[in-house]
Amino acid sequence: MKERTRKAFHLLRRGAVAGGKKVQTTLGELVVAAYDTVGNEVKDVAKLLASPELGRAAKSRIVLVQ
């Protein structure tokens, strides 16, 4: 799961690491990146988006409600 998490928040790291800039990423972009990472499994996407690692990277917690 850690490998998938690293791929999913590539959007968050890209600008933050490169130039010390903040990167504005929408929740929609994170969802698309999660789907690209894990495929079309909704449960896996939800698990990835709700992961503590992604929450730390985004500096906010994502809570998914069904």
Using the 8-state DSSP alphabet, how is residue 64 labeled?
A: -
- Write down the pTM of the prediction: 0.61
- Whole-number pLDDT of residue 12: 58
CB atoms within 10 A of CB 10: 11
What does the block give as tokens for 2?
């850690």
DSSP assigned state of 40: S
Does 64 map to a domain? no
Total domains in the chain come to 1
Average pLDDT per block of 10 residues along the chain, 66 residues long:
60 54 78 86 89 82 79
Q: Residue 35 falls within a domain, yes or no?
A: yes
Does residue 22 lie in a domain region?
yes
Give residue 24's domain range. Answer: 2-58
* CA dihedral for 49, 54, 58, 61, sign (positive or negative): positive
Answer yes or no: is 65 within a domain. Answer: no
- The reported pLDDT for the residue numbered 3 is 60
3-state secondary structure of 5: helix
Q: How far apart, in whole angstroms, are the C-alpha atoms of residue 38 and residue 16?
A: 23
